[in-house]
Chain A
């Protein structure tokens, strides 16, 4: 059916230009020739449906984890656990002042109602 470009089908013997054009166009054609992609792309339709179900489950699990975490954080840690010492702003600080106040305030004179005050 086809005739090689090197044959004189078009009324003149093939010359260097014919060979050059033939080389050029042959070089442009993909080699090896790829197969059809249509059926290959038709197949993943089923796989994508599976992926959709899987992704829905993943999303549901993620939402459940988030809700659980939110509930946990809003209600605080469960009771019965040993209290964890909280870091204070100042070393040895406490609600009553602790050692810090002892050092800061001068020692008060102890008042004994039975003692006789010294006369000036």
Chain B
């Protein structure tokens, strides 16, 4: 039971803390599903908006983190069916150009090309592989935290991450992409 009314300053502060603490992993879950950074952010914002509305309606959520994860996963699945998904969003490559404005144009183009290639290969992997790679490399989560989030044991995290990483590296190598030493 939360005694604070929905719009009270303490409830707002609680919401901000939740957002700061969990929004990145909500994004990571959505990203791992579609490898679309903008769509993942839309899903993240929508999940938190729904949480806020639940609070405004007076509904109590016992475990907001688990609730957000579930809503984000459902939204990511729904995105497949929606017109929003069919019509697409702003191509991520364009946004990459905006983000990496400090890199010289030829290097940026080369980098974007490489990243587009990685993205394409990631899409060929199983969703479970994308989950674990995103949590590891985007959020820098350690094995314990990944295990907690994916509800698997730490040994399984090591095994799955190692295999997912190897599969992606092999695909890159097979297409002639070698990392800089």
Contact = CB atoms under 8 A, between A and B. Distances in A.
Nearest to B118: A24
Interface size class of A (residues with CB under 8 A): 20 to 34
Given A21-B168, A26-B138, A36 B96 contact: no
B41 A30 contact: yes
A38 B137 contact: no
A91 B83 CA distance: 66
Contacts of A26: 137-138
* Interface-centre pick from A22, A26, A28, A37 (highest chain B CB count, 10 A): A28
Interface of B is mostly: helix
A42 B45 contact: no
B52 A39 contact: yes
B65 interface: no
A5 B145 contact: no
Given A5-B140, A24-B115, A36-B15, A41 B37 contact: no
Contacts of B158: 10-11
A96 interface: no
Nearest to B36: A28
Interface stretch (A12-20, A59-67, A75-83, A98-106): A12-20
A28 B38 CA distance: 9
Nearest to A21: B137
Contact of A27 (B27, B56, B99): B99
Contacts of A10: 143, 158, 161-162, 165
B162 A17 contact: no
A30 B138 CA distance: 11
A1 B149 CA distance: 13
17 contacts: A3-B140, A10-B158, A17-B169, A18-B137, A19-B179, A21-B118, A21-B133, A21-B165, A24-B119, A27-B96, A27-B111, A28-B35, A36-B23, A37-B49, A38-B48, A38-B53, A39-B12
Given A30-B37, A35-B19, 9 more contacts: A11-B158, A16-B178, A18-B137, A26-B137, A27-B115, A28-B35, A29-B37, A36-B23, A38-B19
